[in-house]
């Protein structure tokens, strides 16, 4: 049983996974590498003068692995939320169980719709359908959250990454029973 399963390893999902794994929670990431970010070139990411989309995505995956998140290259084809746990099935026939699920599936709301999560029309250019979330990133289904483009935020790398971090911090806080902060301090 994972504490947090995340579908999608673009900026939103990878950023969520970095926070979740770094906090010590057992974290799973499932990704089929069909995101839009690999097609981008970034010159507006705070603190990074310029970076290609493929480099950004690859660095994010390296970083989430460094903190102990398990990365599975597969497509999540189905998910069910029952009895306080979420079961995820993949195209290769694997099944995984997690206490919490974060959907960070970019332009695709297909898995959310299979789960029965409430969706609505997107407001960003070319984003047809988004998941209906509250300010914390919670969906209408207990223990199922959403972050990034699929949760309706502005389609920019730094914003989707920040939204993934925000939602992960909210899940971590709920699991640990106290508001969670991840601050490393510069060594003198």
Ligand X SMILES: Cc1cc2nc3c(=O)[nH]c(=O)nc-3n(C[C@H](O)[C@H](O)[C@H](O)COP(=O)(O)OP(=O)(O)OC[C@H]3O[C@@H](n4cnc5c(N)ncnc54)[C@H](O)[C@@H]3O)c2cc1C
Binding window for ligand X (CB under 6 A); candidates: 31-39, 59-67, 130-138, 177-185: 31-39
3-state secondary structure of 183: coil
- Among 3, 5, 11, 17, contact with ligand X (rule: CB under 6 A): 11
Q: What whole-number distance in Å separates Cα of residue 157 and Cα of residue 138?
A: 21
CB 124 within 8 A of CB 152: yes
Q: Does 58 bind ligand X (CB under 6 A)?
A: no
Total residues contacting ligand X by CB under 6 A comes to 35
CB-based contacts of 180-184 (< 8 A; 24+ apart in sequence)? 180/23, 182/19, 182/22, 182/23
User: Under the criterion CB under 6 A, does residue 86 sit at the interface with ligand X?
Assistant: no
Residue 32 is a binding residue for ligand X (CB under 6 A)? yes
Six token digits for residue 172: 């971590």
Binding site residues, ligand X, CB under 6 A: 7-13, 30-37, 39-42, 44, 75-76, 104-108, 111, 148-149, 155-158, 160
């Amino acid at each position: 049983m994972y504490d947090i399963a995340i579908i999608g390893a673009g900026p939103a999902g990878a950023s969520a996974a970095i926070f979740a794994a770094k906090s010590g929670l057992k974290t799973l990431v499932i990704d089929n590498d069909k995101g839009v970010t690999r097609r981008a070139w970034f010159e507006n990411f705070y603190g990074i003068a310029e970076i290609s989309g493929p480099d950004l995505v690859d660095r994010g995956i390296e970083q989430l692995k460094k903190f102990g998140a398990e990365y599975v290259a597969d497509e999540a084809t189905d998910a069910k939320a029952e009895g306080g746990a979420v079961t995820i099935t993949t195209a290769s026939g694997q099944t995984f169980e997690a206490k919490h699920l974060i959907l960070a599936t970019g332009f695709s709301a297909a898995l959310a719709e299979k789960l029965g999560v409430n969706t609505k029309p997107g407001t960003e250019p070319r984003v047809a359908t988004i998941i209906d979330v509250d300010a914390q990133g919670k969906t209408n289904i207990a223990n199922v959250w959403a972050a990034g483009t699929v949760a309706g935020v502005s389609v920019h790398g730094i914003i989707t990454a920040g939204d993934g971090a925000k939602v992960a911090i909210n899940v971590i806080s709920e699991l640990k029973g106290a508001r969670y902060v991840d601050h490393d301090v510069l060594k003198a």
